[in-house]
Structure 1
Amino acid sequence: MKTWSMGVIGLAGLAAIIAATYSSPAALLGVAGLTALGTGIGWPYFLGIPAKKTLAALIGLPGVGSAIAATYLPAPGFLDWTPSFIAAGVTAIFVMQLLRGTGQAQRLESTLGSCAGVMLSCLGAGWIASSRFNGVREMVLVAAISSAIALLAGLIRWPDRVVAPLGIIGAGLAGPLAGLVFSDIAVLPAALVGVVVGSVLVSFRRLVVLRGETLDLPAALGIGLAPVSAVGSLAYFIDKLLMY
């Protein structure tokens, strides 16, 4: 698969999140859980590290647990258990690497990369927290639209020095516009969400470019869903810090 497949998968993930947000909490939990599992399955393939099946479980399951906790924890502590799930996942990865023994191939890369995958998987619970925060779903929509603009910019087969500023500026402009059209969210929080999520997404595009290899389906799934997962928590914390 080509590098632009990351953007296509990311857009599909965003569409599923928005549809589930305006459907029911159970639907959003299902989508968040599938996003975490997709990240877990695909991330080891993107990194090209051994023990992919075991690492897929260790990366994806903490994300599922974080999503379940964010769905059922009382306000305002929607993400109170997320650090615990991240810590549990990281600990499990270190234990697994110890069990592999010394002298194993790519041991350091596998450990560090998998720990990053656990964090990305768990951050997807932020979409649930954003949806539940004061019962306002508009920030989810603003973050998703900004992310979609950045992902669409990433589909353009131009150099990063052109695509990166285009994606960040486009997302930064789309945020306030979406806020004005679909809600009464202030311009500053919407613009900040747009710029931050745009920066994150174009950074992941750079990772794909630097990898320099054609993506297989699991790798495209992991690198497509991982940044979408991270954007959820970014939007939630910006919403919480600037709007209330």
Structure 2
Amino acid sequence: MKTWIIGIIGLAGLAAIVGASYISPAALLAVAVIAAAAVGVGWPHFLGIPAKKTLAVLIGLPGVGAAVAATYLPGPGFLDWTPSFMAAGVMAVFVMQLIRGTGQAQRLESTLGSSAGVLLSCLGAGWIACSRFNGVREMLLVAAISAAIALLAGLIRWPDRVVAPLGIVGAGLAGPLAGLVFSDIAVLPAAVVGVVVGAVLMSFRRLVILRGESLSFAAALGMGLGPVSAVGSLAYFIDKLLIY
């Protein structure tokens, strides 16, 4: 499968998150649960590691739990349980590898890669926290627009040394512009969000390039939604640090 499909999947995920945030908390929760499950299913396929079905459950379930907790926990501690779900997921991955026993293929790669997948799955709860924070969705919209610009830049089939700076700068400029047009967020926090979001998404694009192999749909799904999930928590914490 062509690598540009990953960007399309990421854009579709962003659109679903933004749309659901304006419909209802239940709709946003449903999108977050689907995204966590998709990361769980797709991440082992992207890594090319064994025991994909078991790891899909171990990666996806913590993300689902984190999303549910972020929806129903009282503020301001929307993500108070997220570290616990991350820890539980990582511990489950280690236990699963112990059960597999020594001498199994790709044991170290499976452990480290699956632990990273657990983190990505759980970080998607940040979109819910971002939507609930202060009762407004301004930062969610700024982060989503910045991420969309970075993903669109990533679709350009130019060398990475050109596309990466272009994506970061484009997202850094889109953030303040979106803040001025759609919200009252100051230029500095919006620019910080844009640059950070662009850097994260361009880093994952580089990871896809380094892999250098054709991707299955499941792998593209995991890689397309994993970085998008991480962006939610980044936007939430930047919102708390620089604005609140």
- TM-score range, shorter-chain basis? over 0.9
Could you tell me how far apart the structure 1 residues matched to 2:208 and 2:94 are?
A: 26
Q: What's the counterpart of residue 12 of structure 2?
A: 12
SS in 2 for 1:185: coil
Q: What's the counterpart of residue 236 of structure 2?
A: 236
SS in 2 for 1:221: helix
Q: What's the counterpart of residue 123 of structure 1?
A: 123
Could you tell me how far apart the structure 1 residues matched to 2:187 and 2:214 are?
A: 39
Q: What's the counterpart of residue 223 of structure 1?
A: 223
Equivalent residue letter for 2:139: M
Alpha-carbon offset, residue 29 of structure 1: 0.2
SS in 1 for 2:184: coil
Q: What's the counterpart of residue 174 of structure 1?
A: 174
1:102-122 CA-to-partner distances (Å, cap 9, x unmatched) read 100000000000000000000
Could you tell me how far apart the structure 1 residues matched to 2:103 and 2:5 are?
A: 35
- The answer on 1:142 being equivalent to 2:156 is no
Q: What's the counterpart of residue 63 of structure 2?
A: 63
SS in 1 for 2:185: coil
SS in 1 for 2:43: helix
- The answer on 1:106 being equivalent to 2:106 is yes
Q: How does 1:14-93 map to 2 (within 5 A)?
A: 14-93=14-93
Could you tell me how far apart the structure 1 residues matched to 2:165 and 2:15 are?
A: 24
Could you tell me how far apart the structure 2 residues matched to 1:8 and 1:87 are?
A: 31
1:140-179 CA-to-partner distances (Å, cap 9, x unmatched) read 0000000000000000000000000000000000000000
Could you tell me how far apart the structure 2 residues matched to 1:204 and 1:4 are?
A: 13
Alpha-carbon offset, residue 133 of structure 1: 0.3
Equivalent residue letter for 2:229: S
Equivalent residue letter for 1:49: I
1:158-210 CA-to-partner distances (Å, cap 9, x unmatched) read 00000000000000000000000001110011000000000000000000000
Equivalent residue letter for 1:240: K
Q: What's the counterpart of residue 213 of structure 2?
A: 213
Q: How does 1:188-203 map to 2 (within 5 A)?
A: 188-203=188-203
TM-score (normalizing by structure 1): 1.00
SS in 1 for 2:120: helix
Could you tell me how far apart the structure 1 residues matched to 2:215 and 2:12 are?
A: 17
SS in 1 for 2:158: coil
Equivalent residue letter for 2:59: I
Equivalent residue letter for 1:56: A
Percent identity, please.
Answer: 83
Alpha-carbon offset, residue 214 of structure 1: 1.0
Alpha-carbon offset, residue 20 of structure 1: 0.3
Structure 1 runs (4+) greater than 2 angstroms displaced: none
Which runs of 5 or more structure 2 residues have no equivalent in the other structure? Answer: none
Equivalent residue letter for 2:91: T
Could you tell me how far apart the structure 2 residues matched to 1:164 and 1:4 are?
A: 15
Alpha-carbon offset, residue 52 of structure 1: 0.2
Equivalent residue letter for 1:33: V
TM-score (normalizing by structure 2): 1.00
Alpha-carbon offset, residue 2 of structure 1: 0.7
Could you tell me how far apart the structure 2 residues matched to 1:6 and 1:200 are?
A: 15
